[in-house]
Amino acid sequence: MLLDDENYQADKEIPNPFARLVRDFKLMDGETARTIDHEFRAALGKLTQGMSPIELFNAYTDWLGHLAISPGKQLHLLQSAVHKVFQLGKFTFDAVAHGAETENIYTDRSFAGDAWQQFPYSFFAQSFLATKEFIKESSENVFGVKGDHEELVSFMNTQIIEAISPANIPFTNPDIVAATKAEHGQNIADGLKRMVDDLTDRTPVEERNPFQVGKDVGKTPGKVIFQNRLIELIQYTPTTPEVGSDPVLIIPPWIMKFYILDLTPKQSLIKYLVDQGKTVFIVSWKNPTAEDRDLTMDDYLDLGLLEALKAVTTIVPRCKVNTVGYCIGGTLLAIGAAALARDGDDTIKSVSLFTAQTDFTEPGEIKRMLGESQVSFVESAMWKQGYLEATNMGGAFKAMKPADLVWGPRVNRYFLGKEAEPNELMAWSEDATRMPYRMHTDYLRQLYLSNDLAVGEYKVHGEPVSLADIRVPIFAVGTTTDHVAPWKSVYKILRLTHTPVTFLLTNGGHNAGIICGAEHPRRSYQVHLHHPGDSFIDPDTWSETVERNPGSWWLEWNDWLDVQSGNKIKAPKMGAAKKGYEVLRDAPGEYVIAP
């Protein structure tokens, strides 16, 4: 039945009860929602020690799910378990009946002591090693599991199994048992006190780091001749009447303090270069705070490398600059060299890269902790504070070698009463730095996740750069036991450039291999010059065929650098006050000391 006009008009005047609600209702904008997500994830990250539970769940679900539908792998693991049980039974019988020992214990440095060779401690060690090997077999080579998931599962399983090593438990570690008997438990009491001090941060700073920057380390004479909101630039006092006409500019990583290159006089690369007749400059990065949260990779390039180059070429007129980059500082240098080459700027004369990656497809064990979900968790933690805590970075690196860097030192400190003899490198490693939110996010996403630099998609000032544009000589150094920048990853620079690359491989780790000093009886190296157009040699073949030389690689690099340094000239003055680069203060400056 149709309404007549009068009734229809009355119905129209009835107020709609939802009209005001619709009018006043405001949808949450995307930025607010993202803020809530960041807050929640930052809080959750504190509970999970920075690990993404989603990343772990996905990895373990992938692994266990594929393992459940792999009867062949299951049968293999069953046979392996039975075989290990039989081996352990035989070992135990021989140890009890005949006092036999086994060489397998020496596969783990934690059990190398003589006391571990005696039953029952040898049984504890053998059981652990067998379990550790079985867990490794279970974690790897499960058909169908994604590679990054397999790596994460293997990494986490390693953390778990290392935590329950008999070397970490007072009742199963013979050294702890012996010390407790000899000291009537005083070692345990002292260890508990140290643990409380460490947890409550009451340990005096002098005890944690007895080496003072500028007094004990970082004391090569020099002057700060430039400063901006991100860097101080240090020029070192010459020690020779003449120097090479083309100076050296060092770009250290900002994830560590620059004085790793200036520890003791024998370990100081800076002092060595100065004594060899080089004019040396180095960037000292500011330790960022919350107010630096929006600094970008472009800012690190502009305020760091490019401002430093401008200062160096002003103080030493008509020069070209021999640039040196260490770790992430080397990655930044490679980016900057490519950008300058793209723009037709020939300020750089040579590029030296120390343990610096330019292709991140195989970045080592750190990749296990850098899936998309994990990076988003790191991003949320940084968003909350404006930076990534120094302890987060240090903890990630220590987790790569848990037995040596996490549990071993704790056992020594808390159970055995053994204080590690302080040295300059250990003190420096505790003097860590923070990472600003925006820069570190860009770094992780653009380099580690997307590998933009290697594929020519990394942008500087909005335009892509290519490492193939670099035409100056390159000297690249890798170290054999580097777990931060594996040498085979560093080696990839040979495929990304069309310029002469001298690649050198030295024994040692990421830091110890670089700061080995000019004389080191246990160091050796291999070196080879790769010309453009030469056939590519895979890294394994390279390491097997290139001749090994005894001694420190510093001398080899210095000879190469001599060729790049030009004719001898009178050492330049410190700074150039009339051109805006006056001496501000003595080295090592303020940024390296500021907390």
User: pLDDT band at 237, cuts 50/70/90?
Assistant: very high
* Per-residue model confidence (pLDDT) at position 2: 45
Give me the torsion for CA of 283, 285, 286, 291, rounded to 10°.
120
- Mean pLDDT of the 192-201 span: 78
What the block records as the tokens of 203 is 């340990």
With a cut of 80, say whether residue 326 has pLDDT above it.
yes
Residue type, 230: L
* Per-residue model confidence (pLDDT) at position 93: 85
The DSSP line for 258-281 is GGGGSSSTTT-HHHHHHHTT--EE
What the block records as the tokens of 377 is 């968790």
Q: Which residues are catalytic?
A: 327
- Mean pLDDT of the 82-95 span: 88
Which residue blocks in 69-185 are alpha helix, DSSP H? 71-98, 121-139, 147-163, 174-183
With a cut of 80, say whether residue 317 has pLDDT above it.
yes
**Residue among 192, 194, 146 nearest 419 (CA):** 194
- Mean pLDDT of the 507-512 span: 91
pLDDT tens digits, one per residue of 577-588 = 889 899 999 999
With a cut of 60, say whether residue 265 has pLDDT above it.
yes
User: pLDDT band at 487, cuts 50/70/90?
Assistant: very high
* Per-residue model confidence (pLDDT) at position 33: 80
- Name the pTM for this structure: 0.86
pLDDT tens digits, one per residue of 22-60 = 666 667 767 778 778 777 777 777 777 667 888 888 899
- Mean pLDDT of the 460-483 span: 95
* Per-residue model confidence (pLDDT) at position 193: 83
Q: How far apart are CA 334 and CA 338, in angstroms?
A: 6
- Mean pLDDT of the 298-306 span: 97
Q: Are 226 and 184 in contact (CB under 8 A)?
A: no
Contacts of 434 (CB under 8 A, 6+ apart): 287, 288, 289, 387, 388, 389, 390
The length of the chain is 595
With a cut of 70, say whether residue 205 has pLDDT above it.
no
pLDDT tens digits, one per residue of 3-15 = 455 554 545 566 6
User: pLDDT band at 341, cuts 50/70/90?
Assistant: very high
With a cut of 50, say whether residue 61 has pLDDT above it.
yes
- DSSP strands (E only) in 217-316: 222-227, 231-236, 242-244, 248-251, 280-285
Q: Are 395 and 381 in contact (CB under 8 A)?
A: no
With a cut of 50, say whether residue 1 has pLDDT above it.
no
Name the residue with tokens 């997307």.
450
Of 171-175, 184-188, 565-569, least confident by mean pLDDT is 184-188
* Per-residue model confidence (pLDDT) at position 3: 46
* Per-residue model confidence (pLDDT) at position 345: 95
Number of C-beta neighbours around residue 224 at 10 A: 23
pLDDT tens digits, one per residue of 141-180 = 999 998 888 888 988 898 889 889 998 988 899 988 988 8
Of 118-122, 320-324, 501-505, least confident by mean pLDDT is 118-122
Q: Are 329 and 443 in contact (CB under 8 A)?
A: no
Name the residue with tokens 């539908």.
69
For 413, list phi and psi in degrees, rounded to 5. -80, -40
Cβ-in-10-Å burial (0-12, 13-18, 19+) of 199 comes to: exposed
**Which residues pair with residue 77 across a beta bridge?**
none
- Mean pLDDT of the 288-297 span: 93
Long-range contacts of 184-189 (CB under 8 A, 24+ apart): 186/417, 187/415, 187/416, 187/417, 188/415
pLDDT tens digits, one per residue of 530-550 = 999 899 999 999 999 999 999
Number of C-beta neighbours around residue 344 at 10 A: 7
**Which residues pair with residue 510 across a beta bridge?**
none
- Mean pLDDT of the 15-26 span: 67
Residue type, 490: V
* Per-residue model confidence (pLDDT) at position 8: 46
- Mean pLDDT of the 188-208 span: 70
- Mean pLDDT of the 500-504 span: 97
**Residue among 423, 274, 251, 254 nearest 352 (CA):** 251
What average pLDDT does the structure give for the chain?
A: 87
Q: How far apart are CA 384 and CA 98, in angstroms?
A: 62
